[in-house]
Amino acid sequence: MQWQLRRYAVHDFDAFAREWAEHVLPLRRAHGFEVLGPWRDAEGRFVWMLGHVDFASADHAYYASDERRAIAPDPARHVAAAEHLAMDDV
């Protein structure tokens, strides 16, 4: 399994968390991702983890999907900065 830990500094935490839960989370799961989180870290950032056996291909398919392109407004508009840490199972 390949994983990513994602941390986002967001302009409006509550709005982003709501839109993420309504749109991003179910669509990621529909694309076969395992999703852990979300959490709010000590600095107030939105944190979550997602995993897939073929992360790069599944991530590409997620972003290329009609469903992802149809999410409007895009929750990413709330993101001021993003960190992604890639990890593999050992």
**CA-based nearest residue to 35, from 1, 68, 9, 63:** 1
Give residues with Cβ within 8 angstroms of 25, minimum separation 6. Answer: 35
Q: Which structural domain, as residue segments, surrounds residue 9?
A: 2-88
Instruction: Give me the residues of the chain with pLDDT under 70, please.
Output: none
Task: Give the per-residue pLDDT at 14.
Answer: 97
Q: What pTM does this model have?
A: 0.93
User: What CATH code is carried by the domain that includes residue 69?
Assistant: 3.30.70.100
pLDDT at 67: 97
Give the count of domains, the chain.
1
| Cα-based angle 53, 57, 60 (whole degrees, multiple of 5) | 130
**How remote is the C-alpha of 8 from its chain's centroid?**
9
